[in-house]
Structure 1
Amino acid sequence: MSDLYEKLKRFQQNTPVQKPSPPALVPSSSTSKPLPDQLLKIPGIVRGSQVMEKIQQRDDAKKKFLSTLGVNEVTNPAGKYGYREIKISNRELPITKEDIGGLEIQTISRDASLAVFNANDFLFFDTETTGLAGGTGTTPFLIGIGFFDEDGFRVCQYMMRDYDEEAAVLHDLVKQIGRFPALASYNGKCFDAPILQARFLLNRLRFPITDMPHLDLLFAARRFWKKMLPSCSLSTVESRILGRTREEDISGELIPYVYFDFLRGIRIERMRPVLFHNVEDVVSLAMLAAKICRMVRHPENECRHGWEWFGLGCCLAAAGMWERTFFCLEQAVLEPSLSLEEWIAINKFLSLSYKRLARMKEAVDVWQRMIERGEDVFAMIELAKFHEHTEKKYAEALALTERAILQMRNRQNDVMANGPATVMYEELLHRWNRLLEKRKNP
């Protein structure tokens, strides 16, 4: 190894160092063709030029089509994007700003921070995205916002005509959001807001709505209509509760595929119902907020079903408005379309509410009608407790306990398969033995 090293060292010492010669200068009188013409002879460059020309023609066609829908190009320091604004006058709007009140919103949302706001303070927003699963890879290509002004209700749409316009959309969206102290959405807390937060983070922008009060109307819709409707999607609530029918619409799960086609310049006219869908969603948010506020303010005019009365009663109970709670729950049990199980569930909540406030006379009345109509074990147990501990009527308490035990034995298969029911059965036996002793030795 050392011999090889010595040979290499001697070879380097004996080899003369040659300085590089300067590059030859091309005379200015050269007859060669200009460089661009030479490049155009390369097949790859020719193909690239043709592709760029087709892309430009595709983008021009998309812009021309969007301009027929009122989508204009807006330029800001971050780039360009499509912007559309729609104004709905007070005469065309089926609601008024006075329909939306802070106290009613606080009641339905159980969020005290929303009590100080009125209709002018809320920014209603909805997004159309490249996927419905959420996550970092999901991009909101169309963001619609709506708000009340002096002339009525205004909807603004921020559209990414291609992925490179996202930064420009978010740049102007931040300014618009900053004008309002509160937000309103439909499932926005779990879907729209996290997606926007991810996109702001990837674009190195501060997410403006992290600490803003946020009214998510999906939770209120579930409280009122979950038992009534096949689903609580915004389109279902809109058609079945608000009575709105969309003439030109598209299913939400198809929207990502329509946008992907639009990016490729394929069937770009299918974006028309997507823009319409987004506008209708934003308008429906305002109408839904007004509807729920009116239900709290004037339930006798707005509640049409027992589950609406029950949902309102639960909201009022959480707010501590007990007299109004009892009124709503008593109205709920009068609903003729309720099944026996539903009717018992509402009466159970009503009786426990009376018991919580020590209004035992009303609670006893509820338990008695539950026993008369449904032979309900819960009502028998509660009434037996009342007779044993309050009235000291051990015979009545024992009779109710025996009746409850018999009812449980008739459902022996359910008792054996249901752990909580088995525990209830054992507690009934224990109460029965205790009541026997009390009756013998009062």
Structure 2
Amino acid sequence: MSLKNKLNRLKSHLSIGNQSENELKMPESTVTIDIPFRDKWEKENVFPYFSDENYCLIREVRFPLSHKHGHYCFQDLQTAVNCWNQNSINHPLSSKGHNIEELFFFDTETTGLGGGVGNTIFILGYASVRGNELILRQHILPNPGAEVPLYQSFLEKVNYRTLVTYNGKSFDWPQVKTRHTLIREHVPKLPAFGHFDLFHAARRLWKHKLDKMKLSIVEKEVLGVERVDDIPGYLAPIIYFDFIESKQPDGMLGILKHNEIDILSLVTLYTHLTFQLCRTDLSQSRPETYEVGRWFASLGETQQAEKILSTLTNVQDITSIQAKRILAYQQKKEHNWGQARDLFLEVVESQNLEMRAEACMELAKIYEHRLIDIPKAIRYCQEAINTVLSDSTKIKKPTLDQLELRLNRLEKKHANVSR
């Protein structure tokens, strides 16, 4: 085997590291690929990675854990992981059993928002904690034919247990799998992992106050992150295609900064969500507390849900009524008919007609089948009908028909009992 071929085989083993340790590039005597504007890239801490007679670019940025991004420092992530490990709460976002270095905060930039092989990933970005630093790396596709070095460099650095993304289950990771399939004979396999998708969590907790759930909106309205001179994400594909033509780094450097903020915000968002779910955020609002309790209730974590929702019932507002409604259903599920009745009776006092009608219907069922009080069952069934009719904008004919059928049946049952 010639010396040149041996050197080419060794190229794939080069990987990014600390600049003070190993160089991120091939020795000059072995590099035969011309890197356009290489000096300009290297001034921005971007270095080539050579593999398969081609190359990709890798940017690395290191942050001390004392660095603040929005309302939190990165060292607060350790507090968040500790919260889960010291708590018996069961939740899909729990990192119980993890250490901080096993979380892998991941985001991509692509040439489009659609799926399939026509959509190319041109930045694979991620961050993870190593020692006293948060290390952020971005693997950049310099031309459409460089996917082998892109994925080779990415996969040989992957060392994680759980992926943390924002809508990554629906978009980012499926795209990675699609592109990986095309070159799977030339690069390592994709690893197995857990996945925390923070988009769904953010939607659960803040849909009551945010019209849109874009990460940039959550950053501004919830996390305290302010973007300055940021390139909008929708411009990224246009800038990338221009980069392919011109090779000029300037526009791509702006996209890299945009992607960097996305990734750092995932760290802050996971920290904040943990503090919300573990109830360590002292500034948590009543609607947020309700959404946390409702989430635990939907998971079947009834004790945790009751513990949280019960803290909301002492104040007479819509949040209190919402909490009592969920608690009433929990008591009903546990066959605590008296407690369920009492809570539904409080919901009936609500000014919200939809919740009031629903509570009346539930009371009619409880009085008929559990407490065997037909007159009261008739009373609350009639009240449910009156409430539905008074809310003309939301009348649902099937609901009204069902209520009238129930009322008719109850009246016949009462007449038979009275004979």
TM-score, reference length from structure 1: 0.76
The answer to which of 400-409 and 365-374 deviates more is 400-409
Residue of structure 2 aligned with 1:170, choices 151, 155, 164: 151
Q: Secondary structure at the match of 1:131?
A: coil
User: Which residue in the other structure is 2:11 paired with?
Assistant: none
- Residue 312 (structure 1) shift: 1.3
Residue of structure 1 aligned with 2:105, choices 103, 111, 124: 124
- The 1:386–1:106 alpha-carbon spacing in structure 2 relative to 1, beyond 3 Å, is closer
Q: Secondary structure at the match of 1:397?
A: helix
User: Which residue in the other structure is 1:351 paired with?
Assistant: 328
Residue of structure 2 aligned with 1:80, choices 49, 55, 58: 55
Contact 2:167 2:197 (C-alpha < 8 Å) held by counterparts: yes
Matched, 1:404 2:381: no
- Residue 360 (structure 1) shift: 3.5
- The 1:188–1:105 alpha-carbon spacing in structure 2 relative to 1, beyond 3 Å, is farther
User: Which residue in the other structure is 1:224 paired with?
Assistant: 205
Q: Secondary structure at the match of 1:435?
A: helix
CA deviations 1:81-128 (Å, max 9, x no partner) are 1111111102214123231255679844278xx643232111111001
Residue of structure 2 aligned with 1:60, choices 36, 41, 44: 36
Distance 2:399 2:188 in 1: 47
The answer to which of 420-429 and 116-125 deviates more is 420-429
Residue of structure 2 aligned with 1:289, choices 252, 267, 270: 270
CA deviations 1:168-222 (Å, max 9, x no partner) are 0101111122x22221111111111111111111113467446321111112112
Which 5+ residue runs of structure 1 have no aligned equivalent? 1-57
User: Which residue in the other structure is 2:3 paired with?
Assistant: none
Matched, 1:377 2:357: yes
Q: Secondary structure at the match of 2:172?
A: helix
Q: Secondary structure at the match of 1:109?
A: coil
Matched, 1:144 2:119: no
Contact 1:108 1:220 (C-alpha < 8 Å) held by counterparts: no
- The one-letter code matched in structure 2 to 1:407 is T
Distance 1:123 1:430 in 2: 59
Matched, 1:260 2:237: no
- The 1:257–1:343 alpha-carbon spacing in structure 2 relative to 1, beyond 3 Å, is farther
- Residue 398 (structure 1) shift: 2.5
User: Which residue in the other structure is 1:193 paired with?
Assistant: 173
Q: Secondary structure at the match of 1:176?
A: coil
- The one-letter code matched in structure 2 to 1:395 is P
Pairing of 1:276-355 with structure 2 (within 5 A):
276-299=257-280, 301-306=282-287, 308-331=288-311, 346-355=323-332
Distance 1:305 1:272 in 2: 42
CA deviations 1:237-256 (Å, max 9, x no partner) are 11111111112311111111
Distance 2:53 2:248 in 1: 29
- The one-letter code matched in structure 2 to 1:403 is E
User: Which residue in the other structure is 1:422 paired with?
Assistant: 401
Contact 2:384 2:403 (C-alpha < 8 Å) held by counterparts: no
Which 5+ residue runs of structure 2 have no aligned equivalent? 1-33
Distance 2:346 2:193 in 1: 47
Contact 1:184 1:285 (C-alpha < 8 Å) held by counterparts: yes
Contact 1:109 1:220 (C-alpha < 8 Å) held by counterparts: no
Bigger CA radius of gyration: 1
- The 1:272–1:336 alpha-carbon spacing in structure 2 relative to 1, beyond 3 Å, is farther
Matched, 1:202 2:182: yes
- The 1:277–1:425 alpha-carbon spacing in structure 2 relative to 1, beyond 3 Å, is farther
CA deviations 1:380-430 (Å, max 9, x no partner) are 122233333333333322222232233344457855x53344333322332
CA deviations 1:314-357 (Å, max 9, x no partner) are 3322454423312322445678885xxx8765543332112212
Residue of structure 2 aligned with 1:133, choices 114, 136, 139: 114
TM-score, reference length from structure 2: 0.80
- The 1:117–1:407 alpha-carbon spacing in structure 2 relative to 1, beyond 3 Å, is same
Contact 1:81 1:165 (C-alpha < 8 Å) held by counterparts: yes
- The one-letter code matched in structure 2 to 1:163 is P
CA deviations 1:244-287 (Å, max 9, x no partner) are 11123111111111111111117742222211111111111111
Distance 1:66 1:220 in 2: 37
- The 1:139–1:332 alpha-carbon spacing in structure 2 relative to 1, beyond 3 Å, is farther
Q: Secondary structure at the match of 1:247?
A: coil
The answer to which of 146-155 and 208-217 deviates more is 208-217
* Structure with more of its chain in helix, by fraction: 1
- Residue 73 (structure 1) shift: 1.5
Q: Secondary structure at the match of 2:224?
A: coil
- The 1:146–1:135 alpha-carbon spacing in structure 2 relative to 1, beyond 3 Å, is same
Distance 2:343 2:238 in 1: 54
User: Which residue in the other structure is 1:432 paired with?
Assistant: 411
Q: Secondary structure at the match of 1:309?
A: helix
Count of residues in correspondence between the two structures:
376
Distance 1:275 1:240 in 2: 23
User: Which residue in the other structure is 1:11 paired with?
Assistant: none
Distance 1:175 1:83 in 2: 13
